[in-house]
Amino acid sequence: MHMPSFGIDSQAQLIVAHLDDFTPNGALPNFEGGQYGQRHEIWRSAVVNFIYEMHRAGLIEPFPGIESYEQLSSEDIKNSLIYGDRVNNIDVELLWDSMHFSGTELLGEILRSCRLDSWDALASDLSMELKDRIDNL
């Protein structure tokens, strides 16, 4: 699976996750043209890996709901994004529009310390401080 190195797209997605929720289909919209880009499979693989890595680091989490996604491990979330939700019988394509993620308190603390905790921060250059903080998780 392909995962872009931590860059401006990842930074922007973490800022959005802190301020609002997002679905996998809405993640990394500028990487490889996003959901509707010509290199859809590369983008999709990057989204799976972004969600997996950021969940594993404790920076994002699924919204609680009747499907209990919030109780899944990072590996289980990754598998659901690749194969669908077999437990709840939800097709992978539907899951990409229905599973929502948001930032954790840890993400909020890190973004506040890097002064990236506002919508205006989406226009910021890549923060090496944020990159280093995430690399050290």
pLDDT tens digits, residue range 91-124? 999 999 999 999 999 999 999 999 999 999 999 9
* Residue type at position 87: V
CB neighbour list of residue 34: distance below 8 Å, 6 or more residues apart: 28, 43
pLDDT of residue 56: 95
- CB neighbour burial string for 52-85, b if at least 16 within 10 angstroms, e if fewer: bbbbebebbbbeeeebebeebeeeebbbbbeebb
pLDDT of residue 40: 85
Domain positions in the chain are 8-131
Residue 18 contacts residue 103 (beta carbons within 8 Å): yes
| 63, 106, 113 from 22: Cα distances, Å | 10, 17, 23
Residue 22 contacts residue 100 (beta carbons within 8 Å): yes
pLDDT tens digits, residue range 8-37? 999 999 999 999 999 999 999 998 888 888
- Per-residue pLDDT for 3 more than 60? no
- Per-residue pLDDT for 1 more than 70? no
pLDDT tens digits, residue range 31-84? 888 888 888 899 999 999 999 999 999 999 998 876 788 889 999 999 999 999
pLDDT of residue 4: 52
pLDDT of residue 78: 96
